[in-house]
Structure 1
Amino acid sequence: MSAVPALSAEIELRLAHVAAESEPLHAAAVFFADAVEKRSKGRISITVHPSGQLGSNAEVYEQVKVGAPIIQVSDPGYLSDYEPNFGVLNGPYLLEDPADFQKLLNSDLYAEMIAGVRKTGNFEVLSMNWLFGARHIISNRSVTNLDEAKGLKIRVPPNVMWIETMKAMGADGIQIAWAEVYTGLSSGVVAAAEAPLASIWGAKLYESAKEISMTGHFKAFVGLAMNSDLYASYPEDIQTILSEEAVAAGIMITNLVLRSEAEYRAKLEAEGVTFHTAVDVEAFQKATASVYEQFPKWSKGLYARVRKVLDN
């Protein structure tokens, strides 16, 4: 479950995420923790805390912001609460090929975002190249077109990008913490949820809903972040180890996620889940294009800059 703290460790950190231990995200977190401890020769120890053990995403962000020695699995959507421009990285149908995301991470635009969230949120983003997976909709009916999505009460995280995207698709986004999504779906508070297949499996959502529509509306990347002041207090070699191993773990999870989607689909089908692949993606793309105009706090021309990076 976690890297074991070394008795002689100079630096002890915790790594928090809300995914289940069965998910690729947890495997990557443990991979990162072990690699850091090994490369630092025991100077750094990191214990991994899955399944929201340290609190919800929002709660842990606040702990990190005020200086807690926690590395948080971070999402551009949550970081956009502190640096609005980050939100564009979580936009609907932004990427055709997940590999294109690296173009953004290599860009001056991304460097500006990193500097911005360091200044406004006191977060040091160690990496943002962890492919979390394409997000699809699970419900007890198909959601393959705009008519079927209309009025659907669907769980979303507490983030404007998700809410606006579901609204544009015709659905009604209901904000529920991930730890409560199983209860929300089984009790009927929501009729649907959206997540990568690994997360749907890990949260056992298939016990309450039996139909998955392969909408792929978000191809989500996450990464690691920690308190910027705490990071700056470490020797340069420690900073380098944390940052480089965070990126290396991103390569590991991206390969794992790309390999494992078929495996999770087979597991879900064995539990009686039906998959709908004949999705009107073009209609969903057109409907959600206006979402990129709903964020007045973004810098002027932000989406155009993103498209220029991706399309070149």
Structure 2
Amino acid sequence: MINKKKWIANLSVLFGGALVAVSAMAAQYSLNINIALTQDDPMYKGLERMKQRVESRTNGKVELRLFTGSQLGKDEDVLEQARAGANVAVLVDTGRLGVFTPSLAVLGAPYIVPDISKLDTLVTSDLFNGWASDLRQKAGLEILSFNWWQGSRHLLTNKPITQPADLKGIRMRTPGAPVWLETIKAMGATPTPLGWTEVYTGLQQHVIDGAEAQMPAVYGSRLYEVISHITKTGHIQLISGLVGSSQWFDTLPAEYQAIVKEEALLAGDYATELTQAKLTDYENLMVKEGVTISEVDITPFVNATESVYQTLNLQTEREQVMQVLGQ
């Protein structure tokens, strides 16, 4: 016959030990990561991988919490939170970081990195590390890795586009960073800053006439329901990075700092590979939904956007990038 008191006592010891173990595993450091995209996007898959690996390698002492759809706010707002020392990070492009370190904006400039296979070479170079150091000193922002390629940006419209002149009068959504605004203006459209989560309704309600984005984001946000044409200009390679607070990062032991950066870099490679592998699938799915996807001669668009480098005084940075890439 079971001795109930003894059984309860043993159970209490068992649960007590489990609670101690859970307490020992409790996170000492936590980082909230914000992205504008959906859980189906390759970038989120990369973040999931990073979360699992970081938490495993630190025995749960560093916890990563992931937020989609800009739940923590617009990218610019999250960057300001990070600058203030909050435990937040955001997957963001260099266009927004150019506000603090102007040289970084060149990675978001038109037709700057034609061969994406050389991305790791660029974002681990002494040139890039110097810009990252400058960002840290001037803005208190820490780049964890910057090798998250989201895809080539293309034009999303409700009419065919074959040349820059066809964009005249089109209010085109783009992020509010200067390098994006100048690029779209140079291409012939009227740049209209708008949050990514507002693009669908903006197109649906004719607040904007078009947008420009990479294929995974277009499909993930179901923009194929409110556009009829995608013109493959590839005018910007959306190179993104995981950027957080240098103040928060400095609270981590050196061992954990190394783990976070190593896994951020590996996760960026993983997300980039997923993006490359799925691009054709995204295109085929949107064609089935009735979207016309067109290849065009990009030469007129390349020529039209040459002025962006002069306008934003990025000629030197462009030459430096070309040297690193061996172009």
Q: Scaled by the length of structure 1, what TM-score is found?
A: 0.94
- Unmatched segments (≥5 aa) in structure 1: none
Does the Cα contact within 8 Å between 2:172 and 2:208 map onto a contact in 1? yes
Higher mean displacement: 147-156 or 85-94: 147-156
Matched, 1:271 2:289: yes
Aligned positions of 1:152-171 closer than 5 A: 152-171=170-189
Provide Cα deviations, 1:122-167, integer angstroms capped at 9, x if missing partner: 0110100011111111111122212212222100111111111111
Aligned positions of 1:235-274 closer than 5 A: 235-274=253-292
Amino acid in the other structure paired with 1:57: D
- Unmatched segments (≥5 aa) in structure 2: 1-22
Percent identity of equivalent pairs: 33
Amino acid in the other structure paired with 2:308: V
Q: Which residue of 1 aligns with 2:306?
A: 289
Q: Which residue of 1 aligns with 2:18?
A: none
Which of 248, 253, 258 in structure 2 is aligned with 1:230? 248
Q: Which residue of 2 aligns with 1:309?
A: 324
SS in 2 for 1:28: helix
Aligned positions of 1:41-190 closer than 5 A: 41-190=59-208
Does the Cα contact within 8 Å between 2:152 and 2:213 map onto a contact in 1? yes
Q: Scaled by the length of structure 2, what TM-score is found?
A: 0.90
SS in 1 for 2:306: helix
Does the Cα contact within 8 Å between 2:112 and 2:318 map onto a contact in 1? no
Q: Which residue of 1 aligns with 2:11?
A: none
Q: Offset at 1:6?
A: 9.3
Provide Cα deviations, 1:59-105, integer angstroms capped at 9, x if missing partner: 11111110111121121111111111110011101122111222322
Does the Cα contact within 8 Å between 2:121 and 2:325 map onto a contact in 1? yes
Q: Which residue of 2 aligns with 1:202?
A: 220
Which of 28, 49, 58 in structure 2 is aligned with 1:10? 28
Q: Which residue of 2 aligns with 1:218?
A: 236
Matched, 1:28 2:43: no
Does the Cα contact within 8 Å between 2:37 and 2:69 map onto a contact in 1? yes
Q: Offset at 1:224?
A: 0.7
Amino acid in the other structure paired with 2:150: F
Does the Cα contact within 8 Å between 1:144 and 1:215 map onto a contact in 2? no
Does the Cα contact within 8 Å between 1:165 and 1:288 map onto a contact in 2? yes
Does the Cα contact within 8 Å between 2:154 and 2:234 map onto a contact in 1? yes
Amino acid in the other structure paired with 2:65: T
The 2-side partners of 1:273 and 1:80 are apart by 34
Amino acid in the other structure paired with 1:280: D
The 1-side partners of 2:169 and 2:189 are apart by 5
Alpha-carbon RMSD across the aligned residues, in angstroms, is 1.5
Amino acid in the other structure paired with 1:214: K
The 2-side partners of 1:181 and 1:187 are apart by 10
Does the Cα contact within 8 Å between 1:184 and 1:190 map onto a contact in 2? yes
Amino acid in the other structure paired with 1:249: A
The 1-side partners of 2:176 and 2:139 are apart by 18
Q: 1:148 to 1:111 in 2, by over 3 A?
A: same
SS in 2 for 1:301: helix
Q: Offset at 1:7?
A: 5.5
Amino acid in the other structure paired with 2:287: E
Does the Cα contact within 8 Å between 1:155 and 1:176 map onto a contact in 2? yes
Does the Cα contact within 8 Å between 2:150 and 2:272 map onto a contact in 1? yes
